[in-house]
Amino acid sequence: MRIDLHSHSDASDGTDSPTELVHAAARAGLDVLGITDHDTTQSWDEAARAAAEVGIALVCGIEVSTTLRGRGVHLLAYQPDPTHPVLQDRLREVLRGRDARVPRILERLREQGVRIELDDVRRAAGDAAATGRPHVADALVARGVVADRAEAFERYLNPGRPAYVRRTAADLHEMLQVVADAGGVTVLAHPWGRSARDVLDAAAIADLRDRGLTGLEVDHEDHTGAERAQLRAIARDLDLVVTGSSDYHGLGKVGHDLGCNTTEPAEYRRLLAAQAL
């Protein structure tokens, strides 16, 4: 059984529609796909219909943008009730913050002599509920300013680069509770992948476990082999579920092919069992 629990459609910053994503998962030989767009459940219904057609199991999730001690932490929330009012409210707030950031990024780009209009970004984002830096990157590519998303991030959009602008995110501690209240389970996405590493040492992860966290995404391309070994040991000590996933974004992110990392069936069963508790 091949299980990949983290992927993006064009409801956020992936490039496949939810249907295309599910079909790609089937072609990649996956039996279980987690669809986890940033801060939205927009893709769930379409993906569920496609999954029923092609006969793979779909795990509906959200990669929620949260903060812990000023650092951005991505929290995978699996199968919460999407109509839960507090969850909806918090996601709405994050999505508003995403939209509000775009004009500010464009202003910074203009200061760099790069003129991109809001409509360029809107066109790049299409119907995505969650607009993000990758859509600004796509607009930069469309205008011939950079060759691809990676170059856009390196030159302009990464933290420390001239067009980087912070955005609002949900409080991690509160979100752990909200997802639990909404009947879902939570896994820390790529905990040592980016800026979050400083605030996610073993003691901090233990504290999050005490606040309801169920798992750690250990096998992720952002982690080296040594980091995976350390994270696996932490997970074992704390009795946290270990997941592995691709964080597939379609053509939007190279080196993240569906199934490039997978979750052990026993760990997947533990994740589902935690939800039933």
Which candidate, 97, 128, 121, 99, places its Cα nearest to that of 8? 128
Structure tokens at 201: 């040492």
Of 29 and 159, which has the nearer Cβ to ligand AMP?
159
Task: State which of positions 117-176 bind ligand AMP (CB under 6 A).
Answer: 132-134, 149-150, 153
* Residue 253 interaction partner, one of ligand AMP, Zn ion, Fe ion, none, beta carbon < 5-8 Å per kind: ligand AMP
Using CB under 6 A as the binding rule, whether residue 13 contacts ligand AMP is answered as yes
Residue number, 132 or 234, with CB nearest to Fe ion: 132
Q: What's the N-to-C CA distance of the chain in angstroms?
A: 24
Residue 94 sits at φ, ψ, to 5 deg, of -65, -40
- Residue among 94 and 234 whose Cβ is closer to Zn ion: 94
Bridge partners (DSSP) of residue 3 are: 32
Question: Parallel, antiparallel, or unpaired: how do β-strands 71-78 and 57-68 relate?
Answer: antiparallel
Q: Minimal distance in Å, beta carbon 189 to Fe ion?
A: 5
Residue placing its CB nearer to ligand AMP in the complex, 90 or 253: 253
- Rounded to a whole number of angstroms, the minimum distance from the CB of residue 222 to Fe ion is 8
Q: Which is nearer to Zn ion, 13 or 120 (CB)?
A: 13
Which one of Fe ion, Zn ion, ligand AMP, none interacts with residue 153, CB within 5 to 8 A by kind? ligand AMP
Helix, coil or strand: residue 263: coil
List binders of ligand AMP among 213-272 (CB under 6 A).
Answer: 249, 252-253
Decide which of ligand AMP, Fe ion, Zn ion, none touches 74; Cβ closer than 5 to 8 Å per partner kind. Fe ion
The helix/strand/coil state of 252 is helix
Report the distance separating Cα 272 and Cα 219, nearest Å.
Answer: 19
Q: Tell me which DSSP letter residue 188 carries.
A: E
Cα within 13 Å of Cα(265), Cβ side: 5
Q: How far apart (Å, rounded) are the C-alpha atoms in residues 254 and 160?
A: 22
Residue nearest to ligand AMP (CB): 132
CA-based nearest residue to 216, from 232, 197, 196, 230: 232
How far apart CA 59 and CA 79 sit, in angstroms, is 7
Examine residue 209 and tell whether it contacts ligand AMP (CB under 6 A).
Answer: no
Residue 225 has phi, psi (to 5 degrees) of -60, -40
Name the residue nearer to Fe ion (CB basis): 180 or 189. 189
Q: Which of the listed partners (ligand AMP, Zn ion, Fe ion, none) does 270 bind, with a CB threshold of 5 to 8 Å by partner kind?
A: none
Among 3, 6, 11, 13, which residue sits at the site for Zn ion (rule: CB under 5 A)?
A: 13
Kindly state the smallest distance separating residue 7's Cβ from Zn ion, in Å.
10
Say how many C-beta atoms besides its own lie within 10 A of residue 224's C-beta.
10
For ligand AMP, give the closer residue by CB, 209 or 220: 220
Q: Which residues bind Zn ion (CB under 5 A)?
A: 13
Q: Which residues bind ligand AMP (CB under 6 A)?
A: 13, 38, 132-134, 149-150, 153, 249, 252-253
